[in-house]
Amino acid sequence: MTNIDKIIELKENLNKLLKNNSPLPPLNNAFFINGIEINLEDQIHNQPFTVLLDDGEFYELNIEFGILTHQTLDRTEQRNEKLTKIELNDSEKILHLTEAIKVLKNLTSHSSTQ
């Protein structure tokens, strides 16, 4: 099986799981985004904070805080959550898709036991 065939198969499996788990839960530490964290720090050096969204794509999440002013003390108004789509090579796609499937399967089994 080629990498392309493997990616197609993994993407199909991921899309089925996403359909069954839609919408994704709110992302930890983010106020405005639903998704799941994909943590591959043990396999990819300097991996950004990567999330999978309902569209089946992987994004880097950056959360920035502005300076509080006397005009507002509301932290959410001063918060900026920015998503940037991540471009992955074939081996990185396989790693990310495999991890996303694992996380979604855990999410599915956890929600079915409640």
Q: Where are the domains of the chain?
A: 3-112
User: Within 13 A of 77's CA, how many CA atoms are on the CB side?
Assistant: 8
Please give the pLDDT value at position 30.
77
Mean pLDDT, 10 residues at a time, the chain of 114 residues? 95 95 85 87 75 94 70 62 92 95 86 60
Please give the pLDDT value at position 107.
83
The alpha carbon of residue 47 and the mean position of all alpha carbons in its chain are separated, in whole angstroms, by: 13
Q: Which runs of consecutive H residues, i.e. helices, occur in the chain?
A: 3-20, 90-112
Cα Rg, the chain, nearest whole Å: 16
Please give the pLDDT value at position 98.
96
Please give the pLDDT value at position 73.
56
Please give the pLDDT value at position 81.
83
- Find residue 64's DSSP bridge partners: 80
Q: What separation in angstroms does the CA of 108 have from each of 19, 20, 34?
A: 11, 8, 16
Please give the pLDDT value at position 1.
85
3-class SS shares of the chain: helix, strand, coil, % to 5 = 35, 20, 40
Residue 57 DSSP symbol = -
Please give the pLDDT value at position 111.
62
